[in-house]
Amino acid sequence: MTNMNNKFEADTGKILDIVINSLYSEREIFLRELISNASDALDKRKYLGLTDKKIANSSETPEVIIEVDNKEKTLTISDNGIGMNEEDLKSSLGTIARSGTKAFLEQISKSNKDKKTDMSMIGQFGVGFYASFMVADDVEVISKKAGDSQAWKWSSDGKTGFNLVKADKDNFGTSILLKLKKDAKEFLEETRLQFIVRKYSDHISYPVKLSQKDKKDTEIKTLNEASALWTRPAKEIKDEQYQEFFSHIGAGFGKPLLTMHNNTEGTISYTNLICIPSTRPFDLFNPDRKSSLKLYINRVFITDKCDALIPSYLRFIKGLVDTQDIDLNVSREMLQNNPAVAKISKSLVGKILRELKKVSEKDMDGYKNFWKEYGAVLKEGLYEDAERKEILLDLCRFSTNESEDPISLSQYLEKMPDTQKEIYYISAETSAQALASPHLEGFKSKNIPVLIMTDAIDQFWLPMVGSFKEKKFTSITQGKINLDELDSKNKDKKNKSNNDKDKQDKEYVDLIAQLKVVLGDQVKDIRLSSKLTDSPVCLVADEGGMDIAMEQLMIQRDSNYKGAPRILEINGDHSLIKNMKSLLSKKESNDLVSDAGTLLFEQARLMEGKMPADPAQFSKIMNQFLLKAIPN
């Protein structure tokens, strides 16, 4: 096939090359992808036909036909579904969504680097149709959209581009003709095709039939069970069937982390067949991504865009819900405010969270994997779903300054000293950054656990939730925390601690005053710290101010955002601070103390990941100190 009148986009060409040459060992998946596409087309026509008689498929049985022509060495997959017009063929077969293309190419690159290419990744990125070119030299698609009078033919050799011309077709639907490669003759064999269909598409709710074009007396055979998997009793379904079903609906490959197949009867009756994929999708945190549960009414596919069915913080759930308690003719817009949908949603979300609770109690390793993949998304529910706050808090897991192994909030409470009244946490972009923070020093020395918060959503749900079992969440980088009180087991020790603190405060009055003059408006206040043990200084947000991590998020959104001045805490037990206090008594050393104060302030800013406020001045002072430290 030559003289293509439409060129592929650059990224589309790259993917075709990868599909044909790099994902070559599991060629049989091309048939799974084409049958899945045909099933979707039948679903769409069945739904749209409810309200449009021109589209309705009343005279024909919805089906998928696989036609073998041994003489011509061709394989044709046909359906009488919704079909495609000229624009549909261009957009569906001529281009690939850019976001999916980029992620696909990145994943391939990573897999090749690790030498562990995942051959099943095709279906994850919406490039399933292109798997046809693994077995075919040329592909022809003839399609007629239901309700239209004109058919179209799309053809390509999968190399440079495609042709798109008008065609003749009697019935609505799509036929895909594959001119098989010489080494792909196995896909003309009846036993091979039957094996593939039963392996991947046995659960399709439409019959998949096999026809031998060049054998006149051959009976047309139905290769699959042709019954919706979710309508069968769960005890009759094997794990492998569930896995293939979830692969078909785009829920990933391999064994899901969790599978739920329930038939609920009551005021509202419904069946759910859902899973949590073992790995999260590449676009899980895309702002435009929403939940994608498929809604069926009496086994008729209605939509996969019913946002009211499941909240966005459970958007990683894949599968379907089928009910008899909603009118088949309901519009997609009306579904969003449908009382029956709301009741199903409440019941379904409750089931999911209760099931996750069971897993967290009975399978700690399995739940650890779940939390690694989806914990950041589940925490969005703490901000969005006040009604289920308590159960969501029970499901949350956090690493601490003591261990990377995540623990529950209840486990944290068990670790707390008797004198501790608050749940301490520190926020940062990464765990490494949090663990390197000087704010943790005092907590480490007193064996006080601190939760590590590294997800952006943490900055939003923490102030909203406020507490857990009457224990307030407290940021160790915000406000004033007196760790000495946590050591006070009796009144005498507490009074002694307070007396020592009062004495130290008086000793450092002059140094603090000098540093306030030097730093001016760059700091809101300067005070002695009870948290620091190794570092000389750190910066702290005011009690009612914005936490440091939240300020970083604001800066990411607006580069001109400056934030509020912070409080500089100094470590009165640090030798450097003590020496600065001693030098201050010698008036000729005031400049040296001032310069040291400036460097310490900038050091504290650097620990927060910020650049010096005045890089030129910082470099000048630093060079002066280096000259004194390294004499001739």
Whether the pLDDT of residue 393 is over 80: the answer is: yes
Output the DSSP codes for 455-504. Answer: STTHHHHHHHH-EETTEEEEETTBS---GGGGG--SHHHHHHHHHHHHHH
d(CA 63, CA 209): 8
Beta sheet of 566-570, edge-to-edge order: 523-528, 566-570, 537-540
Of 585 and 471, more confident = 471
d(CA 145, CA 129): 18
- Which pLDDT score is estimated for 120? 41
Q: If pLDDT is split at 50, 70 and 90, which confidence band does 383 have?
A: very high
Q: Is 166 helix (H, G, I), strand (E, B) or coil?
A: strand
Average pLDDT over residues 255-276: 92
Nearest to 94 by CA among 125, 119, 129: 129
Nearest to 246 by CA among 351, 349, 318, 302: 318
Note whether 62 and 42 are within 8 A (CB). yes
Q: Is 75 helix (H, G, I), strand (E, B) or coil?
A: strand
* CA dihedral over 487, 488, 490, 495, signed as positive or negative: positive
Kindly state the tokens that stand for 525: 């206040």
Region for residue 278 given its phi and psi (left: phi exceeds 0; alpha: psi -120 to 50; beta: otherwise)? alpha
Kindly state the tokens that stand for 544: 């009612």
**Which of 291-327 are b and which e, b meaning 16 or more Cβ less than 10 Å from the residue's Cβ?**
bbbbbbbeeebbbbebbebbbebbbbbbbbbbbebbe
Note whether 530 and 446 are within 8 A (CB). no
Sequence letter at residue 247? S
Note whether 531 and 442 are within 8 A (CB). yes
Region for residue 503 given its phi and psi (left: phi exceeds 0; alpha: psi -120 to 50; beta: otherwise)? alpha
∠80-199-185 over CA atoms, to 5°? Answer: 75
288 CB burial (10 A radius; 0-12, 13-18, 19+)? exposed
- When the pLDDT of each residue in the chain is averaged and rounded to a whole number, the result is 84
Count of C-beta atoms within a 10 Å radius of residue 94: 17
d(CA 375, CA 361): 16
Domains and CATH numbers, the chain: 6-227 (3.30.565.10), 230-362 (3.30.230.80), 489-539+565-629 (1.20.120.790)
Of 334 and 541, more confident = 541
**Dihedral angle at the C-alpha atoms of 371, 373, 376, 377, nearest 10 degrees?**
-110
- Which pLDDT score is estimated for 104? 46
How many Å from the N-terminal Cα to the C-terminal Cα in the chain?
80
Whether the pLDDT of residue 355 is over 60: the answer is: yes
d(CA 579, CA 538): 18
Note whether 146 and 82 are within 8 A (CB). yes
Whether the pLDDT of residue 462 is over 90: the answer is: yes
Average pLDDT over residues 281-292: 76
- Residue-wise pLDDT for 86-142, tens only, equals 998 887 776 554 434 455 455 555 555 554 444 344 444 445 788 888 899 999 999
Kindly state the tokens that stand for 465: 């939730």
Whether the pLDDT of residue 527 is over 90: the answer is: yes
Pairing state between β 208-212 and 64-69: parallel
Whether the pLDDT of residue 396 is over 70: the answer is: yes
For the chain, percent of residues with pLDDT exceeding 90:
47
- Which pLDDT score is estimated for 77? 97
